[in-house]
Amino acid sequence: MIKVLVVEDSPVVREFLVHILNSDPELRVVGTATDGEDALEAVKSKKPDVITMDIHMPKMDGFEATRKIMETHPMPIVIVTGSSSAAEVANTFHALEAGALSVIPRPKGIGHPEYERTARELIQTVKLMSEVKVVRRWPQLRKKPAISSTLKTTIERAAQEIRIVAIGASTGGPIALQTILSQLPAGFPVPVVIVQHMASGFIEGFVEWLAQSSGLPVHVASHGEHLQPGHIYVAPDGFHMGVGAGDRLMLSTQEAENGLRPAVCYLFRSVAEFYGRNAIGVLLTGMGRDGAEGLRLMREKGAITVAQDEQTSVVYGMPREALELDAAVYVLPPQRIAGLLVSLAERKRRETNHEIPEESQKR
């Protein structure tokens, strides 16, 4: 039995969430809280396995409550929000920086055509997040991230040929992506294409949130759009995203893969086909196996392939699958993945400007 604490200031919404969660035989709501202060006390007395957290509450809001819970009694927290605009959703994503695992929309009301689907989504998310026993976050770096000399040599030798970076992520991915993208310099020399598994309706807010910490333009991908160096493209809701001839983005409504659309494997396969060895593939934290087969194909085509390490992964599912398939050449934490990409940018800049590397100047 999974014990759930529901934190919500609205009595109507609170009762609604309790009804949905208690309808599943594997879940039991052991307590409720009307604000952040109540939540802190309930965590100590009720000892839940997972928390659903509202954001806008009196006394102490969901951001501060999440931060304090993660400092004192770390446990899985799912943000359940009724916000709909991109700006409001982007603000909600700051809860992930405080330590929450996931952000999902509040289920539709009973009688709504989407009620059953959205209620199942809440139940499934709470169950999955309850399995995450340790929540890990990465502080924003204030200095250039370091990478090993061997890896730096590899990327510098390949820099002239790299034309695209493809990244896939699921649970825990937003903070890992923020860590990586915030380190990329202005004028980054190649496009970055991303598939992040996420609840429907949140991609635009997610993109806006990423843009707040990145110095590069971040877009929701459009079909037929021409890829531009130094731009970041995120797959939209309900569409597979791939690449095609002429450096263009291609969106598709083909059948879901591993129950997912967009799927990371779909992106990685297309990058392998059109870019081959001229690409970098990165598979980040997440449940399941999506992306592992695609990353192996990228490696077989000669691409530089990277999987996130177990220590920094919130859920070591997708990266582990990649390692079992021998798909990843390198296993790195997000900070060092950022370092790899920064090294790529620096090398390409020197080559473009015909600069002599510092190590050559010293000799």
Which of 130, 170, 214, 313 is catalytic? The answer is 170
Q: How far is CA 303 from CA 17, 199, 232, 243, in A?
A: 46, 30, 19, 15
Contact 22, 48 (CB under 8 A): no
Q: Which tokens go with 339? A: 């370092």
- From the candidates 35, 54, 290, 309, give the one annotated as an active-site residue: 290
Question: CA 108, 262, 334, 295 torsion: positive or negative?
Answer: positive
Q: Which of 35, 33, 31 is nearest to 22 (CA)?
A: 31
CA distance 42 to 211: 36
Output b/e per residue, 304-333; b: 16+ Cβ within 10 A.
bbbbbbeebbbbbbbbbbbbeeebbbbebb
Which value, to the nearest 10 degrees, does the dihedral of the CA atoms of residues 322, 232, 213, 136 take?
-10
Per the annotation, the verdict on 290 as an active-site residue is yes
Q: Please, which residues have CB within 8 angstroms of residue 215's CB and are 6 or more apart in sequence?
A: 182, 184, 185, 186
| Helix, strand and coil in the chain, % to nearest 5 | 40, 20, 40
| Among 35, 197, 214, 343, the one annotated catalytic | 197
Q: From the centroid of its chain, how far is CA 292?
A: 16
Is residue 19 part of the annotated active site? The answer reads no
Report d(CA 340, CA 192) in Å as an integer: 14
Residues assigned a catalytic role: 170, 197, 290
